Amino acid sequence: MEQRTLGSQGLRVSALGLGCMGMTFAYGGQDDTESRATLERALELGVTFLDTADMYGPHTNEELLGSVLSRRRDEVTLATKFGNEIGADGQGTGRVNGRPDYLRGQIDGSLQRLGTDHVDLYYQHRVDPEVPIEETWGALGELVEAGKVRFLGISEAAPETIRRAHATAPVSAVQTEYSLFTRDVEDNGVLATCRELGIGFVPYSPIGRGFLAGTIRSTDDLPEGDWRRNSPRFQGEALQANLRVLDEVNALAERKGVTPTQLALAWVLAQGSENSDVVPIPGTKRRRYLEENVGAVDVPLSAEELEAIEKVAPAGVATGERYPAAAMKTLNH
């Protein structure tokens, strides 16, 4: 598997990562046995950059990864996150917490659950507008000095916040949603700021939370309790409008002889600069999907093909917000 560099501090990762969230959280159909087998298969295929968060579960996702990876720690680049606040009862509070004393407690919990003494990439999951970013990042810098964390990242942050964080302790990666259906970072200054400051970019939900795979045609295709049932894009008229665009994208995939998911991932991979600074983390809990997705690394898209995709799916083509209204308010601080 090709390796890419995230940021200017020396973090090297596989060109495609693996998003582990759905193994225990957000999406239905969980199966720990298949998830563990998927993690093992990922390492066999060279997909060694694994993405989790304390909030996924909460805690169960890190525990699942720890149960497999503590035996294979040297083979993986482990990324986890803090900041979506988890209360003393172990449940999410719905608030964001960027206070130094909070994150010092969170990293210790993550290390314990992951069965390791260090995390390779530690992200602030959401920015806390109540805490100056310099305070949060001062404490994060101390975690690097203490050897608990090797590199630092931030998720869904505004350009000015990225700049201020980076001036406090080096930011190696920004993680934000990016796919054919979510292209905000192209014109809200996030990608431009990353490139200016030499920060790597990690697109999350690069398959549009599964939508671009083409298997979800109705809300009824989603299991009970699946987060996407509450996502504006997967409902009613918006879903129908999005399916019309998707059918045109899928026709291009068919013409090229690749699957819809491979085309969606190849498009994200093609957005990297000359320095290949983009590393998507498609999520799956199944070996079958993982194997298909890895194939996208070997799907180059020509200028003509990128143009054809652009024609049917220009920026802003998706109908409906990418999060429910309350969650939209936590983005881009």
Ligand X SMILES: NC(=O)c1ccc[n+]([C@@H]2O[C@H](COP(=O)([O-])OP(=O)(O)OC[C@H]3O[C@@H](n4cnc5c(N)ncnc54)[C@H](OP(=O)(O)O)[C@@H]3O)[C@@H](O)[C@H]2O)c1
**Pick 247 or 307: Cβ nearer ligand X:** 247
Distance CA 139, CA 146 (A): 11
269 binds ligand X (CB under 6 A): no
CB of 302 to ligand X, least distance (A): 23
> In whole angstroms, what separates CA 153 from the centre of its chain?
12
- Residue 274 CB, shortest distance to ligand X, in Å, is 25
Lookup result for tokens 């652009």: 310
Q: How far is the C-alpha of 166 from the C-alpha of 106, rounded, in Å?
A: 21
The least CB distance from residue 306 to ligand X, in Å, is: 20
| Residue 29 or 129 with smaller CB distance to ligand X | 29
> Cα–Cα distance between 3 and 300 in angstroms, integer?
16
Q: Does 77 contact ligand X by CB under 6 A? A: no
Residue 289 bears catalytic tag:
no
Q: How far is the CB of 40 from ligand X (least distance, A)?
A: 15
| CB closer to ligand X out of 145 and 220 | 220
* Per-residue contact string for residues 237-266; x = within reach of ligand X by CB under 6 A: ------------------------x-----
Among 116, 139, 206, 239, binds ligand X (CB under 6 A): 206
Residue in 27, 56, 204, 323 annotated catalytic? 56
Residue 78 touches ligand X, criterion: CB under 6 A: no
Angle CA 80–296–171, to nearest 5: 30
Cβ closer to ligand X: 40 or 307? 40
CA distance 321 to 327: 10
In whole angstroms, how close is the CB of 20 to ligand X at the nearest point? 6
Helix, strand, or coil (residue 155) = strand
State the number of binding residues for ligand X (CB under 6 A): 30
Side chain identity, residue 310:
E
CA 101 to chain centre: 26
Q: Is 99 in the site for ligand X (CB under 6 A)?
A: no
- Residues paired with residue 50 on neighbouring β-strands, in sequence order: 18, 78
123 closest CA partner among 47, 199, 174, 179: 174
Q: Minimal CA–CA distance to 173: which of 160, 190, 189?
A: 190
12-41: which residues touch ligand X (CB under 6 A)? 19-22, 27, 29
Site for ligand X contains 215 (CB under 6 A) = yes
Chain mean position to CA 19: 6
Using CB under 6 A as the binding rule, whether residue 289 contacts ligand X is answered as: yes
Residue 307 burial (CB < 10 Å; 0-12/13-18/19+)?
A: exposed
Residues 6+ apart with CB under 8 A from 120: 11, 76, 77, 78, 79, 149, 150, 151
Residue 164 in the binding site for ligand X (CB under 6 A): no
Q: Which of 14, 35, 77, 155 binds ligand X (CB under 6 A)?
A: 155
Residues 165-204 that bind ligand X (CB under 6 A): 175, 204
> Of 35, 51, 168, 197, which one interacts with ligand X (CB under 6 A)?
51
DSSP 241-302: HHHHHHHHHHHHHHHHTS-HHHHHHHHHHTT--TT--B----B-S-HHHHHHHHGGGG----
CB of 22 to ligand X, least distance (A): 4
Q: Which residue lies nearer to ligand X by CB, 166 or 287?
A: 287
Q: Smallest distance from the beta carbon of 289 to ligand X, in angstroms?
A: 4
Q: Which residues bind ligand X (CB under 6 A)?
A: 19-22, 27, 29, 51, 125, 155-156, 175, 204-210, 213, 215, 261, 281-286, 289, 292-293
**What are the catalytic residues?**
56
